[in-house]
A and B are shown apart, each in its own frame.
Chain A
């Protein structure tokens, strides 16, 4: 077996074990939440009989371990159960929400990742001169701004003062791609501003690190133009740390944007999860937790694999 394939297989199986551990942690965490599930569903109208009936119906009388494995086996077969609060199929609801979340994350990533890397390269080319300082200054101030403040600022400027975009990013079936893109313009901008600095700074730092190497000096002595040296010779050797940071930010774009979702009324996973946590809707919380864990683990595996592929010493082990 090719060493790379073997490595990927190893990582994936390790990831699956991690996912299993995460699922157990999520289950325990949800179990530890205060408040009885049946009680919180029935609310004030709960009577002894209706509580007993509901506990029976939900299988809450069985031991926790049995319930965990029941849920796990169902989840493995793709059945995430139904939401306790409104009886909708979780797989269907989560499917739509996840689609929306990925749609937003995709467009934010498509813009932010290349932009961050290019800005990083430019910053290195003009390091310690005004373009570098300008880029660092702007990106560091946007990352320091809380997301909702950035959101409100853009909203005020681009929807109230100048009516360029819509302040509500609700998207739904039946909208054309153009309409959808126009709807999500503001949240995408906010997300780009938030993730840009981290990736840009990492690109800059990693390349500067490589720039001290002897082979860069050789390249300079060969008379190559500075930007070519950075892009062709320095950057490939700085890919590993950059990829890790990029993946971290991509994961954030998928699982961590609930504030942006709320501000712009975007129907993504974050709001869906938060609503169900407050209602103690366990199956939904578990399903969302599992998906978020899978996204994190999956992106990290990708980061590992790409770093290995980018490094010839790891690609061709003796």
Chain B
């Protein structure tokens, strides 16, 4: 533990890591925060929020094809837009707890099947109408409709019935699901008048900012919602989101003071940028991870020894150092890390072991023909370089790995989830159940390793209905063990979210849920 602290302090000095980034890490290692604070001089950072000013954000990840329908949001800018004008029933806090939003409270039956959400009264939509339990139910129905294109459809499918009971919304599940509130915090599930059925793109919600103008892929303007039901947020008079997909332009915009905060700092320039005057670079380890995925049902990857040979043939630390420039953590061939609740750290960490890889490769009986890994620049930042490093370490173990570079265009429709071995990334999910259900349950649409293990599936469903957290943790560690041994996932690294903001901004906090303080930056910060 002491070594970890020493390393952290070194990093603190070496690269100007932010205090909060440090605190988060220190806490993650279980270091008493008092100790950490003393080490840094114990500066106080509690301040009283101030109102006023127009916040300008320069964000990566918007296109002219984006819409305002919250169900169709699938990239950083639409995600941020949703955060401005809408609310979900509950939110996930920075430390992974559930916090009430449009639902004041909730209760659950003993078997975890019937959930009752008490909807907050007296909340008004931006158009002046009252937000009612009916609106909440209608929203849930819209996103759970079988023909819906909503990004939340997958997580809503387990809901058998949606009923309104006075001020309550009652959800009945097919099977018990102890994580339902986490699922309902999904950013697609913004409560809209009438569920947004008639006009899904109206962008009328209950959020702290109202949409003034929206130009997809260019610029969005918001003004403060003076009648906001929650006065402890939304301190700016207005928010302007400018889409800046080019990384250099984004940092220049921040440095020249044209915008106050930006997302997605390239790890390669993060250290450099942190030395620029008036710029604060923040990083937080999240749940996002970069992966190489093998289809466990397709030759030669249907051979467990070959899969494990490849898993032992990758140098995870080297990838973290060279691809992420240290802004991240090593993965362990499961999609879960310490950022998840109920994570069990006792699983053996896979290291680079060419001898073991060579032995496993030999026992797999592979014919020695090239094993093709498909990769595009867009799979994740630095994907092509990462694949080439992988190729070299694999070749040292005698595995004939071959990197085939393909264009970004069409990668997510024609390569990912289609070809048997390719590079990809996952943004992570708030809880283990959702991550596993999305991509490792044998029946999941996005089961991109074609993982089919009946025991794993059964454990997943068992854990979902289990309300005793100690037992759940035990089940999850069993599942991790199975996936680690049997799965088609090679997970070399978890990437940090790296954002930056100017000196004018106060109140920045670390939130591992997503970039830009989990998307809350415009609501929870203010001008100093």
Q: Can you offer 7 A-B residue contacts whose CB atoms are under 8 A? A: A35-B413, A159-B255, A163-B257, A170-B242, A172-B219, A267-B218, A275-B217
Asked whether B65 lies within 8 Å of A83 as measured between CB atoms, the reply is yes
- Give the most central of B148, B252, B259, B410: most A CB within 10 Å: B252
B298 CB to nearest chain A CB (Å):
19
A81 CB to nearest chain B CB (Å):
15
- Give the most central of A49, A83, A163, A265: most B CB within 10 Å: A265
Q: A residues within 8 A CB of B255? A: 159-160
Given the known inter-chain contacts A156-B252, A275-B64, please indicate yes or no for A44 contacting B410, CB distance below 8 A: no
Q: Would you call A70 an interface residue if the criterion is a C-beta within 8 Å of the partner chain's C-beta atoms?
A: no
Q: Would you call A13 an interface residue if the criterion is a C-beta within 8 Å of the partner chain's C-beta atoms?
A: no
Given the known inter-chain contacts A86-B216, A167-B256, please indicate yes or no for A44 contacting B446, CB distance below 8 A: yes
Asked whether B153 lies within 8 Å of A45 as measured between CB atoms, the reply is yes
Given the known inter-chain contacts A39-B413, A44-B417, please indicate yes or no for A265 contacting B66, CB distance below 8 A: no
Contact with A along B198-223 (1 / 0, CB 8 A): 00010000000000010111110000
Q: Would you call A34 an interface residue if the criterion is a C-beta within 8 Å of the partner chain's C-beta atoms?
A: yes
Given the known inter-chain contacts A35-B413, A39-B413, please indicate yes or no for A271 contacting B64, CB distance below 8 A: yes
Q: A residues within 8 A CB of B408? A: 278
Q: A residues within 8 A CB of B445? A: 44-45
Q: B residues within 8 A CB of A279? A: 63, 65
Q: A86-B66, A159-B258, A275-B217 are in contact. List 16 more A-B contacts (CB 8 A).
A: A40-B413, A44-B445, A47-B146, A49-B147, A86-B65, A86-B216, A152-B248, A159-B252, A159-B255, A167-B253, A167-B256, A167-B258, A168-B253, A168-B259, A262-B249, A265-B243
B residues whose Cβ falls under 8 Å from a Cβ of A: 58, 63-67, 146-149, 153-154, 201, 213, 215-219, 242-246, 248-249, 252-253, 255-259, 408-410, 413-414, 417, 445-446
Q: A residues within 8 A CB of B413? A: 35, 39-40, 43
Q: Would you call A281 an interface residue if the criterion is a C-beta within 8 Å of the partner chain's C-beta atoms?
A: yes
Asked whether A34 lies within 8 Å of B249 as measured between CB atoms, the reply is no
Query: Which residue in A35, A40, A263 is a CB contact (below 8 Å) of B248?
Result: A263
Asked whether B244 lies within 8 Å of A265 as measured between CB atoms, the reply is yes
Q: B residues within 8 A CB of A160? A: 252, 255-256
B201 CB to nearest chain A CB (Å):
8
Given the known inter-chain contacts A85-B65, A170-B242, please indicate yes or no for A267 contacting B414, CB distance below 8 A: no
The 5 closest A-B CB pairs, nearest first, are A85-B65, A86-B67, A159-B256, A167-B252, A267-B218
- Tell me, in angstroms, the Cα distance from A44 to B153 when the chains sit together: 11
- Give the most central of A47, A86, A172, A271: most B CB within 10 Å: A86
Asked whether B249 lies within 8 Å of A281 as measured between CB atoms, the reply is no
Query: Which residue in B67, B215, B249 is a CB contact (below 8 Å) of A168?
Result: B249
Q: A residues within 8 A CB of B64? A: 93, 271-272, 275-276
- Tell me, in angstroms, the Cα distance from A163 to B252 when the chains sit together: 11
Asked whether A85 lies within 8 Å of B246 as measured between CB atoms, the reply is no
Q: Would you call A264 an interface residue if the criterion is a C-beta within 8 Å of the partner chain's C-beta atoms?
A: yes
Q: Would you call A87 an interface residue if the criterion is a C-beta within 8 Å of the partner chain's C-beta atoms?
A: yes
Contact with B along A183-199 (1 / 0, CB 8 A): 00000000000000000
Contact with B along A266-277 (1 / 0, CB 8 A): 010001100111
Number of residues on chain A facing chain B (CB within 8 A): 41
- Tell me, in angstroms, the Cα distance from A267 to B249 when the chains sit together: 14
Q: B residues within 8 A CB of A47? A: 146
Q: A residues within 8 A CB of B58? A: 168
- Tell me, in angstroms, the Cα distance from A300 to B410 when the chains sit together: 35
Which residue in chain A gives the minimum CB-CB distance to B216? A86
- Give the most central of A155, A156, A279: most B CB within 10 Å: A155
Asked whether B219 lies within 8 Å of A170 as measured between CB atoms, the reply is yes
Asked whether B65 lies within 8 Å of A166 as measured between CB atoms, the reply is no
Interface residues of A in 128-173 (CB under 8 A from B): 152, 155-156, 159-160, 163, 166-168, 170, 172
- Tell me, in angstroms, the Cα distance from A136 to B410 when the chains sit together: 43
Which residue in chain A gives the minimum CB-CB distance to B244? A265
Q: B residues within 8 A CB of A275? A: 63-65, 217
Q: Would you call A50 an interface residue if the criterion is a C-beta within 8 Å of the partner chain's C-beta atoms?
A: yes
Asked whether A42 lies within 8 Å of B149 as measured between CB atoms, the reply is yes
Asked whether A45 lies within 8 Å of B149 as measured between CB atoms, the reply is yes
Q: B residues within 8 A CB of A50? A: 147
Which residue in chain B gives the minimum CB-CB distance to A158? B256
- Tell me, in angstroms, the Cα distance from A279 to B72 when the chains sit together: 14
Q: B residues within 8 A CB of A172? A: 213, 215, 218-219
Contact with B along A104-143 (1 / 0, CB 8 A): 0000000000000000000000000000000000000000
Asked whether A34 lies within 8 Å of B252 as measured between CB atoms, the reply is no
Contact with B along A39-71 (1 / 0, CB 8 A): 110111101011001000000000000000000
- Tell me, in angstroms, the Cα distance from A43 to B417 when the chains sit together: 11
B99 CB to nearest chain A CB (Å):
29
Q: A residues within 8 A CB of B259? A: 168
Asked whether A167 lies within 8 Å of B67 as measured between CB atoms, the reply is no
Asked whether B256 lies within 8 Å of A262 as measured between CB atoms, the reply is no
Q: A residues within 8 A CB of B245? A: 262, 265
Q: B residues within 8 A CB of A264? A: 249
Q: B residues within 8 A CB of A45? A: 148-149, 153-154, 445
Given the known inter-chain contacts A44-B417, A272-B64, please indicate yes or no for A267 contacting B256, CB distance below 8 A: no
B81 CB to nearest chain A CB (Å):
13
B253 CB to nearest chain A CB (Å):
5
Which residue in chain B gives the minimum CB-CB distance to A160? B255
Which residue in chain B gives the minimum CB-CB distance to A86? B67
Q: A residues within 8 A CB of B256? A: 159-160, 163, 166-167
Asked whether B217 lies within 8 Å of A267 as measured between CB atoms, the reply is yes
- Tell me, in angstroms, the Cα distance from A275 to B257 when the chains sit together: 28
Given the known inter-chain contacts A168-B258, A265-B242, please indicate yes or no for A155 contacting B248, CB distance below 8 A: yes
A110 CB to nearest chain B CB (Å):
24
